[in-house]
Amino acid sequence: MSDTGDEDFMARRDAARERLDRIFGSKGGDADDRRTWFEEVYDTAGGDPAAVPWADLKPKEKLLGWLARHPGEGRRAIDIACGLGDNAEAISAAGYCTTAFDLAQGAVDWAQARFPNSSVDYLQADLFSPPVEWRGAFDLVHECYTVQALHGDLREKSYSAIASLVKPGGTLLVISRSRGEGEEASGPPWPLMPSEFARFEGEGLRLVGSNPYIVERPGRIIPHVIAEYRRD
């Protein structure tokens, strides 16, 4: 498999982006439109991760840094909308008993195929109708790039859906692209504004820390934030 940084990989990714942008549901729509679009991304990729626009094939650096300071020691974690599984694997390797889910069955199958000996419990589920036993069940809830991929009603509902999984005493870790308050975004993705990060605080969580950082891509500097919240 080629590296995500090489020219051939990037050319395939650009071609996939163009193709995916033409599929109905790429720019928003209702829950069914979005579901269809996410399923199409994985189902039409033909096993090529270059065709999954967000697939880095490695865990997020900021997540790794956080996990090094907060090992799991057998506590329970959940990775929201896990995609191809790299972040979930890192969480599991840090000692968390890890569940990971995605709306798209194709993502779940692909993650399982990539990590056949994984201890992660991968499953298909919808953030907006999760199994009831997940409510308040997790010491660590990890959200990376899901809210920024949602728009309208789905985005509105996403803050409470994510926060509802955090156990009393537990942590929510959010990694997302960010933008200034009121700044236009022609997503997807639609980076989060400060008032949107604050929505998690409206869901009974306390902000522990929030750190802006940048991700550099050829010709682009992409503002991000990693934010940590606690349910006291």
Going residue by residue from 78 to 97, which x/- string records binding to ligand SAM, judged by CB under 6 A? Answer: ---xxx---x----------
Q: Total residues contacting ligand SAM (rule CB under 6 A)?
A: 17
**Range 53-72, binding ligand SAM (CB under 6 A):** 54
Nearer to ligand SAM (CB atom), residue 128 or residue 134:
128
Closest listed residue to residue 33, CA positions, set 187, 185, 160, 150: 150
Q: Of 6, 21, 126, 153, which one interacts with ligand SAM (CB under 6 A)?
A: 126
145 binds ligand SAM (CB under 6 A): yes
8 Å CB contact between 107 and 37: no
176 binds ligand SAM (CB under 6 A): no
Rounded to an integer, what distance in angstroms lies between the CA atom of residue 101 and that of residue 85? 9
153 binds ligand SAM (CB under 6 A): no
37 binds ligand SAM (CB under 6 A): no
- Quick one: CA dihedral 81, 158, 91, 119, positive or negative? negative
Q: Which residues bind ligand SAM (CB under 6 A)?
A: 38, 54, 81-83, 87, 102-104, 107, 126-128, 144-146, 149
